[in-house]
Amino acid sequence: MSKQSINRQKVNIAIGATVTYEKELYRIAHILSMSEVIGIHIQKGTPAKLNTSKVSAPIEASMEVAHQKDLDLIDSDEWRSVETRLYGIAPILEGKSLEEIYLRANEIGVSFTTLYRWFRGYQNYGGVAGLLPKKRGRKLGDKKIDVRAEIVISKVLESFYLSMQRPNVQAVINKIHAECYKMNIPLPSKNTIRNRIAEIDDRTKLGARHDRQLAKDKFDPAPKKFEVPYPLHTVQIDHTRMDIVIVSENDRQPIGRPWLTLAIDIYSRMIHGYYLSLEAPSATSVAMCIATGIVPKDKLLADLKIDTDWNIWGFMDNVHVDNGADFRSETLMKACMLHGINIDYRPLGKTNYGGHIERMIGTAMSEMHLVAGTTFSSVKDKGKYNPEENATMTFRELEKWLVSFITTIYHKRTHNGIGMSPEEKFMDGILHGDAIGLPAKPNDADSIYRDFLPSFQRTIQRNGVNIDGLNYYDSVLKRYIHAKDPKSGKKREYFFKRDPKNIAEVWFYNEDDQCYYRIPLADQSVEHLTLHELNLLKQIAKDKRDSTRRVSDRDILMAYEGLHDHVEASKKETKKARRSQERTKVAREQYEQVLPKKRPSINSATEDNDLWDNLDDIPDFDTN
């Protein structure tokens, strides 16, 4: 039984931020690259090189209960509370004076402390997760500084730090401590002050400490051009049916053209994420593409056995996607909202709205035309070429080809639109000038991924839970069999998550301990099954069953077994054919050794095939 808790924290990898590395606390002092930073040990004061893949958020004794809920269990009252709080802090998110915050608090009828708490919650979680209602009362490990100290910090940062004098951090700490001492307020820690400084957005810093026009030139997009001020400000997503026919893993027979969903970072033109599937694009395709982009890709590259880097991760501010009903789902919208991502659907009639991603897709498809099995982009280009007869790549092999092309070629060669490679442009945006620091990294990739997975609401029966005709069971479900809803008295439904790329297991969300449990298929002989394979198996089962009976999980699993029997048979036939070909090759080589230079003409009338034990062994005589 696999059990996993929910952790939606973000790791802030910016100069001045505090992180955990090998169970020790460090303050980030310098960014070397996407994979390495210099950290100063909080207690010892010694520097160390930190691998960003092993960096995590500061360890906390407990997490807010509301933040551990499954998305589907955040009720309408909680979402309304989030909307109210977001409305309240919206005017101050870009930075306002204390006086303006006081005025905003009075305007909406809440106290300054309440409004400031909402604002801090949003900042700490990087999105509306910090606005979800929490349990009342203090918790073990919950450290809060005096609200009066927060006000002093805000005033000093606004009047002293954000000035053309450009005081260093230590000078700011000294001034804040002096002000608090005069007012008999408990002194905030140095790290708290450093964290507050790190949270000031870069446009504000550059405009106040250097030059407003410089900030405007750097952060404002040029008119009539779709440009963005920094990496991961906007990611565009689009779909295409790939110009290639792929074959099955086992019998190497053509199975069709897959669909590709790609996400591109507009600032750098780096590919942020992708989703490859044999199913037509949908909201699930978009969700999986976003989730793949957010999390670090070290494990993905290792699974595909690709020895390179894919150094882009993190939460985008905005995502542009198709404006179609198929691309809208409650799960997608809730997940994006929870993680501070704004979904911007492409306006109708705006054909140039997704230009960057469309050009990238065109680039990838042109490379695809060099691969065996390509369908080319038009009938004219294809000519007499038969993609099905020439198809050689399996789904897995195509995925490896695609990721290899993205990471080893596309990301590294000069992009005409930006005058450098996408990797160089991305790092230029991260490292140079008043850099925004590395993108916030999810503290737990699995939690983020599950937030975007499609969900199902089901009752739990004696044989487990049934989804799409398949039964899933684990002993953890036993206590919930035939459970009743305490309010309605009806059978209680629970939430499950499923990955379309492997539906041989689902994730059960247990409200009792707020953790997810891996639930395998009741018949565990099936170790891996995709949604596409399931649909094919359903069709096989449907063709064989009695038309008066619905397709059961047994039908599907028997079809699965039949499919494997077919595969094994095809393997035997393939081996037999290959042995025959090998014998023919050997016979031909032996004949060539004794054949005179001028070959004799063979009269078919006198040819005696009975001399050969196996017709496949007859050499291919040349009659010329």
- Asked whether residue 507 carries a pLDDT value surpassing 60, the answer given is yes
Spatial distance between the Cα atoms of 30 and 34, rounded to a whole number of angstroms: 12
Spatial distance between the Cα atoms of 149 and 179, rounded to a whole number of angstroms: 9
Q: Are residues 435 and 330 in the same domain?
A: yes
Q: What is the pLDDT of residues 76-104, one digit of tens each?
A: 778 788 888 888 888 887 766 777 888 88
Q: Are residues 277 and 330 in the same domain?
A: yes
Q: Are residues 2 and 23 in the same domain?
A: yes
Q: What is the pLDDT of residues 555-598, one digit of tens each?
A: 555 555 554 454 444 444 544 544 555 555 555 554 444 444 43
Q: What is the pLDDT of residues 443-458, one digit of tens each?
A: 899 999 999 999 999 9
Q: Are residues 399 and 516 in the same domain?
A: no
Decide if 71 contacts 451 (C-beta within 8 A): yes
At 440, the pLDDT band (50, 70, 90 cuts) reads confident
pLDDT reported for residue 604: 37
Tokens 């999105």 found at: 127
Q: Supply the pTM of this predicted model.
A: 0.68
Please report whether residue 148 resides in a domain: no
Tokens 């009047």 found at: 159
Please report whether residue 542 resides in a domain: no
Q: What is the pLDDT of residues 32-41, one digit of tens each?
A: 888 899 999 9
At 612, the pLDDT band (50, 70, 90 cuts) reads very low
- Asked whether residue 178 carries a pLDDT value surpassing 80, the answer given is yes
pLDDT reported for residue 480: 92
Q: Which residues, 6 or more positions from 170, have their beta carbon under 8 angstroms from its beta carbon? A: none
3-state helix, strand, coil in the chain (%, to 5): 45, 15, 40
pLDDT reported for residue 111: 84
Spatial distance between the Cα atoms of 123 and 423, rounded to a whole number of angstroms: 28
Question: For every residue of 511-555, which 3-state class applies, written as one string?
Answer: CCCCEEEEEEECCCCCCCCCHHHHHHHHHHHHHHCCCCCCCCHHH
Domain termination site, one of 447, 469, 488: 447
Please report whether residue 88 resides in a domain: yes
Domain termination site, one of 529, 545, 573: 529
Please report whether residue 618 resides in a domain: no
At 50, the pLDDT band (50, 70, 90 cuts) reads very high
Q: Give the residue among 273, 236, 280 at the shortest CA–CA distance from 452.
A: 273
Please report whether residue 557 resides in a domain: no
At 296, the pLDDT band (50, 70, 90 cuts) reads very high
Give the range among 110-119, 187-196, 390-399, 598-607 with minimum mean pLDDT: 598-607
pLDDT reported for residue 387: 61
Q: Are residues 261 and 331 in the same domain?
A: yes
pLDDT reported for residue 546: 54
Q: What is the pLDDT of residues 315-336, one digit of tens each?
A: 998 998 877 766 778 888 888 8
Domain range enclosing 113: 81-131
**Sequence letter at residue 580:** S
- Asked whether residue 537 carries a pLDDT value surpassing 50, the answer given is yes
Please report whether residue 541 resides in a domain: no
Q: Which residue has the higher pLDDT, 51 or 43?
A: 51
Give the range among 288-302, 362-376, 462-476 with minimum mean pLDDT: 362-376
Q: What percent of the chain has pLDDT over 70?
A: 71
Q: Are residues 434 and 463 in the same domain?
A: no
Q: Are residues 307 and 440 in the same domain?
A: yes
pLDDT reported for residue 55: 92
Opening angle at CA 403, ends 402 and 408, nearest 5: 110
Q: Are residues 328 and 428 in the same domain?
A: yes
Please report whether residue 54 resides in a domain: yes
Q: Are residues 432 and 464 in the same domain?
A: no
Q: What is the pLDDT of residues 198-226, one digit of tens each?
A: 878 776 777 777 766 666 655 554 444 56
pLDDT reported for residue 327: 73
Domain termination site, one of 529, 552, 567: 529
Q: Are residues 45 and 86 in the same domain?
A: no
393 DSSP 8-state letter = -
Please report whether residue 579 resides in a domain: no
Q: Are residues 334 and 413 in the same domain?
A: yes
Q: Are residues 328 and 426 in the same domain?
A: yes
Q: What is the mean pLDDT of the chain?
A: 77
pLDDT reported for residue 584: 53
Into how many domains does the chain fold? 4
Decide if 190 contacts 177 (C-beta within 8 A): no
The widest CA-to-CA distance across the chain, in whole angstroms, is 118
Give the range among 92-106, 394-408, 610-624 with minimum mean pLDDT: 610-624
pLDDT reported for residue 496: 95
Decide if 509 contacts 73 (C-beta within 8 A): yes
Give the range among 54-58, 283-287, 581-585, 587-591 with minimum mean pLDDT: 587-591
Indicate which CATH number applies to the domain containing 430.
3.30.420.10
**DSSP, residue by residue, 467-516:** ETTEEE--GGGGGGTT-B-TTT-SBP-EEEEEETTEEEEEEEEETTTTEE
